[in-house]
Amino acid sequence: MTPVRTVATLRRQLDEWRVAGDTIALVPTMGALHDGHRALIRAARERTCRVVASLFVNPMQFAPDEDFTCYPRDEAGDIASFLDAGVDLVYAPGTRDMYPHGFATTVTPGGAGEGLEADHRDGFFSGVATVVLKLFMQTGADVAVFGEKDYQQLVVVTQMVRDLDLRIDIVPVATVREADGLAMSSRNAYLGGDDRQRAAGLFRILMETRGALDAGEPPDTAVRNAVRRLEEAFDAVDYLSLRDPVTLSAAERRAGAARLLCAVRLGGTRLIDNVAVTLPGGE
Ligand code: AMP
């Protein structure tokens, strides 16, 4: 399969499918595919006739000190994996196709796009929201699939769809994990030596914190204990926070369903993960 590089070619193909009555799902990715991406493609295939996967390492969502230049890239391997997973079209625009000379309009999400990742990654959600909105407009897809692995991103995209009246359904997919619980991520390739094993501690601590909350531990105590353990296990803790699962507003003092989100650093690698929790006092 030859990837489509330009919006014009993309639209020509997708218009043909639409005229034939086909519904279309979009699965945005930055490549270096793993089973998490494949779960998204499966969810897309269950919902629509045609599946478009995008493959674009978006420079706009990397801060100058981040890993844009060394982000794992394997276009030929990714295209073969997409095909194997049942993708109908791979859209792999070049940077200049996505951001032509003179490009000057961006989306800046407030609300769920503030705090957490945004406090540690300058311009990240503006880069994500801008490219995701462009992909939505370029494909006119009926459905787009996103992973819960990047929970804040999922909420930011859902918020953007609501705020800007976009005609697209966002489908969330549960995080796919390695056997030891580590959330699959293209960046796990950076974890060498002991770090790969140490990385699994993140999910373990999140799950044990969930267990403590289930057992009735007050949320502030559970979070304090978890931060202490994370600090022992990792080189730095960027945040550990209990949030409302829909708006991402602070949830420590509420009862019922919440999301526990975390980012830590291990060597030069940043790990993020999150789990659903129930805060004591709720039904
Ligand atoms: P990326 O290629 O890392 O930008 O991710 C593309 C999409 O795959 C995003 O919607 C991610 O949330 C999703 N994704 C990444 N890792 C996982 C995972 N382990 N489980 C489920 N979805 C994932």
* pLDDT tens column, 103-124: 999 999 999 999 999 999 999 9
**DSSP symbol at 187:** G
Q: Rounded to whole angstroms, what are the CA distances from 247 to 105, 145, 146, 198? A: 25, 19, 17, 31
Instruction: Give residue 160's pLDDT.
Output: 98
* Rounded Cα–Cα distance for residues 10 and 56 (Å): 14
Query: What is the residue with the minimal CA distance to atom 22 of ligand 1?
Result: 147
* Rounded Cα–Cα distance for residues 109 and 163 (Å): 10
- Which pTM was predicted? 0.98
Regarding the beta carbon of 176 and ligand 1, being less than 6 Å apart is answered yes
Q: Is 120 a catalytic residue?
A: no
Q: Which atom of ligand 1 is nearest to the CA of 186?
A: 3
* Rounded Cα–Cα distance for residues 3 and 126 (Å): 26
Instruction: Say which residues have a Cβ less than 8 Å from residue 148's Cβ, sequence separation at least 6.
Output: 154, 172, 173, 174, 175, 274
Please state the rounded mean pLDDT for residues 142-162.
98
pLDDT digits (tens, 9 = 90+) for 47-95: 999 999 999 999 999 999 999 999 999 999 999 999 999 999 999 999 9
Instruction: Give residue 88's pLDDT.
Output: 98
Please state the rounded mean pLDDT for residues 268-275.
97
Nearest partner of 90 among 47, 152, 37, 130, judged by Cα: 37
Ligand 1 centroid, distance to 253 Cα (angstroms): 30
Catalytic residue among 34, 37, 101, 120: 37
pLDDT digits (tens, 9 = 90+) for 181-228: 999 999 999 999 899 999 999 999 999 999 999 999 999 999 999 999
**Helix, strand, coil share of the chain (percent; to 5):** 45, 20, 35
Q: Which pLDDT band, with edges at 50, 70 and 90, does 249 fall under?
A: very high
Residues in the chain: 283
Instruction: Give residue 252's pLDDT.
Output: 82
Of 1-5, 18-22, 180-184, give the lowest mean pLDDT range.
1-5
Instruction: Give residue 206's pLDDT.
Output: 98
Ligand 1 centroid, distance to 217 Cα (angstroms): 32
pLDDT of 33 over the 70 cut: yes
Ligand 1 centroid, distance to 10 Cα (angstroms): 23
Regarding the beta carbon of 53 and ligand 1, being less than 6 Å apart is answered no
